[in-house]
A and B are shown apart, each in its own frame.
Chain A
Amino acid sequence: MNETIYQLRGITKSYGNGFALRLDELDIRRGEILALVGPSGAGKSTLLRLLNFLESPNSGSIRFMGAEVRPGGAMPLELRRRVTTVFQRPVLLNRSVAANVRYGLDLRGRGEGDRVKSALETVGLADLSHQRARTLSGGEAQRVALARALVLEPDVLLLDEPTANLDPYNVGLIEGIARQLNQEHGATLVLVTHNVFQAKRLAHRVGLMLEGRLVELAEAEAFFESPADPRTAAFVRGEMVY
């Protein structure tokens, strides 16, 4: 227990003007659900892109499962393939729903049709498997995005506001799936959410991000009940901190 899966040190990331991300230190534990909260533009999505090795930092290092990424570097493919993301705004391929879910397996040269079927059943979309993905509603597309991640059985699943546009039924469904993936498969989850209650329901630890910095990172109970930073306290009370 408490083995770290990610070790981030001295990370900065900028896109020209100012820092999108400045993290002195962040350890993510294997098998935990870490929720990241914070206002728009705080750098949450940027951090997830680094954790999925889609971009490399401008400085610092990210250690993951024995490998390390430094500026300009890349994570070996087989390690990168243990991580996947459900994006804030999913873009699906202009193919059938089933083909979208199968895509990640195709990339790995694995054609396991029953896995595709069960992933679609898990998200409650088995009936739509032959439909063109581009014709789905927003909530359905979001669930396809989850299914295409689940089918890969990732060690780390990064969720970027996965329930932002969903109705309560689908929110419950997706939270249930996330919890199950974590409990039964031991997957590590990093969940970005604007919903403090969702963080409360799901997370073991919660971090508050502001202007690219991690202001506070604590066990969920401590984060909500006895925050160390006044800005966290304000955020938890639902006050504006930005």
Chain B
Amino acid sequence: MEKAKVAFFDFACCEGCQLQVANMGEALINVLGAIDVVEFREVMSEKWDRDIDVAIIEGSITNPHAVERVKQIRDKSKILIAYGSCATIGGVNGMKNGFPLDEIRRYVYGESYQFFPTENTKSVPQVVRVDYFVNGCPVYIPEFVAVLKAVLQGIPYYVPDYPVCVECKLNENVCMYDRGVTCLGPVTKAGCNSWCVNNGNICYGCRGVISNPNEKGAQDVLAKYKIPLGLILNKMNMYNKCRELEQK
């Protein structure tokens, strides 16, 4: 069987998710043995202008040129993977949407701001159809490998739709609420093995919000620990601000 032609494309992002691939070490050679990487701008000069089996999209869509480009990629790709939070939910780039566009352009570029076109940040699924999601800022490599396997076998991959707390409890962490700080674990999709809490920090919600957050429970928690709602909302907006825009 011919190997799947895979291409990586990046939009507005930090490219940390691409870098996670290089961080796989020698295991990467095995992965590269199973697929045929035809374009990966960060590490390859080669370019590919024909059809693609699997397009892996990193980054958010933030200007008209990007909208066109991602649509073209969609048209020539059999499967499209939104890779990393910038792509799946807009991620940190979404915070820009909290400001009037001209104002934020002027703030960063002064009087020359008109050279820098921008529009509201959108996630990839807000612009084109997405077949597979790999959440996380950055992505969690074991999950990416699982998704890639599913793609190559032509079977679906289901992103966990239960909260990070489930994994966190299994990891026997002391709950951050009991340590006196707020954590977004209760409303955030699991799948990262509660990465941040395992390392003594809080969950910032980078994998996106679960579909049925237990809002009553969350409010009870906030009340119990006397935490202002505004604090949580602001924190939610760090990764999830793009939710406010309509879906495609």
Chain A partners chain B? no
Binding site for B on A (CB under 8 A): none
